[in-house]
Amino acid sequence: MISLQKVNKSFVDGNEQYQVIDNVSLDIAEGTIHGIIGPSGAGKSTLLRMMNVLESPDSGSVQVNGLELTSLGSRALREARRSIGMIFQHFQLVGNRTAYGNVALPLELAKVPRADREQRVLEVMRYVGLEDKMRQYPAQLSGGQKQRVAIARALANSPSVLLCDEPTSSLDPKTTSGILDVLRKINRELGVTIVIVSHEMDAVHAICDRVSVMEKGRLTSTYDVNSSSGLSRTGLAAEASEASR
Ligand code: ADP
Ligand code: MG
């Protein structure tokens, strides 16, 4: 589903050249939730942004849904990106648009007719449990609600992949559980392949099937989250149900 082969990326700063991504190869299976963890500055965000070529590699191959993204022209790339949603730590909502307007935006860009657009916005806002917040502006919403709007916006064009950059890092533990539940539901019910970059081990272990560890631009290991780490899984689930009582 997502395949990176020997990707490299360096940035020049003054006379120094930093190898931010160092010969990384990674395959992520369709329908899974894959975590990428590691310290700040390890290159996690840069690697995630390569998965939709927001950041293009200096060398190497980036394939999503069988398409080599690095070789696409701008029009074909725009098309391919519609099937790749993305959410961020600070939500990146458009402040002067309502929740409705934010979620409608990618549909407008995709030239979806108005009536279909309205129906789709209602559908995805219901899916994230915010159908009563359509007319609110981002400043009127809590952090968790803003992230739900961002998730609805990312889902608008029915993506097959959802890229999440520190999706819960600015949320409190209870709100984090709620957002993780939404992501889990999107994976289970809609079959969306999810990649989560985070420095929060607990959150990642709570929902990921597989996790890769990144350090100084390199992937140092990849492991299955199985019954041995099932403890943190149940731990978080228990916390979440405790919190919702
Ligand atoms: P992480 O998400 O793991 O914290 P990043 O991918 O954001 O790491 O960044 C890794 C390193 O690359 C950092 O040291 C950062 O300063 C550097 N970096 C990222 N993007 C750029 C850029 N556009 N220009 C120069 N340096 C960058
Ligand atoms: Mg980052």
Among 8, 15, 37, 46, residue to substitute to test ligand 1 (most atoms within 8 Å of Cβ): 46
With a Cβ cut-off of 6 Å, ligand 1 is lined by 11, 20, 38, 40-46
Indicate whether 242 pLDDT > 50: no
Ligand 1 nearest-atom number relative to CA 214: 3
In 3D, which of 52, 131, 76 has the Cα closest to residue 99?
A: 131
Q: How would residue 226 be classed by pLDDT, with cut points 50, 70 and 90?
A: confident
- Closest residue by CA, ligand 1 atom 20: 46
Q: Are 11 and 18 in contact (CB under 8 A)?
A: yes
pTM of the model: 0.91
Per-residue pLDDT of 90-126, as tens digits, reads: 999 999 999 999 999 999 999 999 999 999 999 999 9
- Complex confidence, ipTM: 0.95
Instruction: Return the pLDDT at 58.
Output: 97
**Distance between Cα 35 and ligand 1 center (Å):** 18
Q: Give the bridge partners for 21, in sequence order.
A: 9
Tokens of 199: 């420095």
CA distance 231 to 206: 9
List pLDDT tens digits, range 90-99: 999 999 999 9
Neighbours of 238 (CB within 10 A): 10
More confidently predicted of 237 and 173: 173
Locate the DSSP E strands across 77-186. Answer: 84-87, 161-165
Question: How much of the chain, in percent, has pLDDT values that exceed 70?
Answer: 92
Closest CA to 180 of 226, 228, 232, 219: 232
The whole-number average pLDDT for the span 12-37 is 95
* Residue owning the nearest CA to atom 6 of ligand 1: 43
Q: Atom 23, ligand 1: which residue's CA is nearest?
A: 11
Neighbours of ion ligand 2 (CB under 5 A): 45
Q: Is the model's pLDDT at 231 over the cut of 80?
A: no
> What are the contacts of 186-192 at 24+ separation with CB within 8 A?
186/151, 186/155, 186/162, 187/31, 187/32, 187/33, 190/155, 191/30, 191/31, 191/160, 192/85, 192/155, 192/159, 192/160, 192/161, 192/162
Looking at residue 196, its pLDDT comes to 98
Does pLDDT of 244 surpass 60?
no
Ligand 1 atom closest to residue 48's alpha carbon, by position in its atom list: 6
Nearest ligand (C-alpha, residue 38): 1
- Nearest CA residue ID for atom 19, ligand 1: 46
Query: Which of these ranges, 79-88, 152-161, 202-211, 218-227, has the smallest mean pLDDT?
Result: 218-227
3-state SS assignment for residue 39:
coil
Predicted pLDDT of residue 28: 98
